[in-house]
Structure 1
Amino acid sequence: MAATGSGLTSFVVVAADSGPLLDDCIASVLGAADAFELVLVDNASTDGSIGRVLAAHGHDARLRLLRNPSNLGFGPACNRGAGFARGDVLVFLNPDCIAPTDLAARLRATLASAPDLGVLGVQVTDPAGVPARGNRRRDPTLRRALVTLSGLARFEPRWPALQGVEMPPATDEDVETVEAVSGACLVLPRAAFERVGGFDEGYFLHAEDLDLCRRVRDAGLRVAIDPRIRVAHAQGASSRSRPLFVARHKHRGLWRYFRKFDPAARNPLLRAIVFIGIWAHFALQAPLLVLRGLRRAAR
């Protein structure tokens, strides 16, 4: 692991055929003037995106490239990026996000004001500035997942017992303690990241952020969101070319999270029902996702 530097913020961006949006993401981070480095972890991209980034920014000493020989998955790549990084604050940023120029300074200010923070999230928005779903989340227990999938979560304001996984966007301007935050921009002091052992590499893509938030809380640290800090995210843009691949790993990740953390998984019957339900849901989605992918490829 690289020696860490106090006051240095390390942005870790994982790319896997992330397309032209990666150029904008890298340019937005390098547009800041704070003390930071940008670790770009490439999961064996073949779309030319890494070459374009190097052609535009290869001269910038703040940009450091780490190449993986194959697509290791998001969590494993983040762990390798964190080990390669030198900062005492780690910012895991999706490759289709645009960072404001003062992002590092504002993140560090919030972390400094609350030493018990283990994970800090931000108000992720779409490109038009509309807050995204999932900025504030609850643990995806079986009960909450069923409420969400059934559509009953929309009645939560009237009946609080009908809590789903996602919470409405933050409406105040204070740092708020939550169970989980969006993985599009996930911020941790290095000490907290190392305390929990980083991302669980049993996940390939999706749910590893929920898992990390859960383990940070279990370690006695706080997970919170600062809605005053905004990051624009072209949601799903980095995975539109491989919808079936992404959906498969999303379902796989949810199954792993359920087995690890949900007390309902201790019941063999419920465990079997959830397994069947998760993969039946994937099977129902698959034809539509394949058709959608073929339509995009034909454009």
Structure 2
Amino acid sequence: MNAGPLTSIVIVLADSGPLTRECVEHALASDVPVEVLIVDNGSTDGIPESLDRAWADDDRVRVIYNRANLGFGAAVNRGVAQSHGIRVLVLNPDCLIEPDTIRRMASHMDVHTAIVGAVVCDADGRPDPASRRRDPLLKRSLATKLGRKGDAGIDIRGPMPDGAEEVEIVSGAILLMPRDAFDRLHGFDESFFLHCEDMDLCRRARDGGYKVILAGDVRVLHGKGGSSRHRPVFVSRHKHRSMYLWFSRHDPAARNAMVRTLVRLGIWTHFALKIPGQLLRKRR
């Protein structure tokens, strides 16, 4: 049996597609002790039940059924509440980790670290720029549109680092946290039904005096899963709602009522303009 502290891997499903079983297999092959908590948000594809049957005799695996879609953050929180590890790995069902992924990510933790992310890559090994992001502040967006440098912040230009790097935001597709830090931050904010909950968590961690670290030497295959493809308008609606919620909570510009109104109008106009293209792609 692998030695060391237990890591609780929480995987949220919502009609998440065929990579899910492989995701669980890779998670169980970790070279550190793990338990896998699969939290189902009302899937209709039969995958949660098939996973439950496949690992019925493995006490490392549990399937938790939500009879409705509670949202990503709420599902993670429910999984963590039933976990026993001293670390929590939040993992998308379309991500495949290697046996040493958790150990290598954990090696970048210290007492001041709340979140460690990894570089997520596509099937060709190309890193996703969203593995390392900055807070999407309005002044930064305007500076980019106008071709200006904007504030200094943390530089995310250039290639991904080869080692640990302190950043503002890591991808929510895979993030490792000490359980006590997760609890101190009260987990994910369930107001964010889908999307931007990782940005909110990273911001609250930094506001609480913690560090957010990108493990640049850890690469993880990310398949960009099925839920978004099956329900593009549903996902887009919640994404745009969460964008405004993050802005209203964390951007100093939101203190101005006129700015809030204009940003809300811009976000929902953008959502409306995207609908025709999303519906056309879904029919193909």
Matched-pair contact (CA < 8 Å) for 2:9–2:90: yes
- State the distance in 1 between where 2:17 and 2:121 align: 20
CA contact (8 A) 1:136 1:166 kept: no
* Matched residue, 1:117: 113
Q: How far off its partner does 1:121 sit?
A: 0.7
Counterparts of residues 22-61 of structure 1 (less than 5 Å): 22-61=20-59
2:280 equivalent to 1:291: yes
1:130 aligns with 2:126: yes
**Counterpart mapping for 1:66-215 below 5 A:** 66-111=64-109, 114-147=110-143, 150=145, 160-161=149-150, 167-168=156-157, 170-215=159-204
CA offsets per residue over residues 87-126 of structure 1, 9 Å max, x none?
1100000111001111222222222xx2211111111111
Distance 1:269 1:95 in 2: 40
Equivalents in 2 of 1:168, 1:36: separation in Å?
35
Deviating more after overlay: 163-172 vs 17-26: 163-172
In 2: Cα distance, 1:294 partner to 1:164 partner: 42
Provide the rounded CA distance (Å) in 1 between the counterparts of 2:276 and 2:153.
27
Cα contact 2:86–2:179 (8 A) shared by 1: yes
How far apart, CA to CA, are the structure 1 residues paired with 2:65 and 2:157?
Answer: 38
1:170 deviates by 4.4
1:201 offset after TM fit, Å?
Answer: 0.5
- Conserved? CA contact 1:170–1:227, under 8 Å: no
**Are 1:226 and 2:215 an aligned pair?**
yes
* CA–CA separation in structure 2 for the residues paired with 1:201 and 1:261: 16
**Superposition deviation, residue 53 in structure 1:** 1.7
Offset from partner CA, 1:53-96 (integer Å, 9 cap, x none): 22333322111111112100000001111101111100000111
CA RMSD of aligned residues (A): 2.0
Out of 82-91 and 162-171, give the one that drifted further. 162-171
Amino acid at match of 2:62: R
* Partner SS, residue 187 of structure 1: strand
Question: Could you tell me how far apart the structure 2 residues matched to 1:194 and 1:237 are?
Answer: 30
Amino acid at match of 1:250: K
Gaps of 5+ in 1: 1-5
1:251 and 2:240 are equivalent in the alignment: yes
Structure 2 match to 1:3: none
Q: TM-score, normalised by structure 1?
A: 0.88
Report if the CA contact (8 A) 1:92-1:186 is conserved.
yes
Find the residue that maps to 1:127 and give its secondary structure: coil
SS at match of 2:65: strand
Q: Secondary structure in 1 aligned to 2:38?
A: strand
Q: 1:276 to 1:179 in 2, by over 3 A?
A: same
Q: Is the 1:121–1:135 contact (alpha carbons within 8 Å) kept by the matching residues of 2?
A: yes
Following superposition, the deviation at residue 50 of structure 1 comes to 1.1
Instruction: Find the aligned partners of 1:37 and 1:206 in 2 and give their Cα distance.
Output: 25
Give identity over the alignment, percent. 45
CA distance in 1, matches of 2:215, 2:186: 24
Deviation of the 1:165 alpha carbon: 10
For these two proteins, the number of residue pairs brought into alignment is 281
* Counterpart residue identity of residue 93, structure 2: P
TM score, norm. by length of structure 2: 0.93
Q: What are structure 2's unaligned runs of at least 5 residues?
A: none
CA shift digits 1:26-45 (9 cap, x unpaired): 11111224211011001111
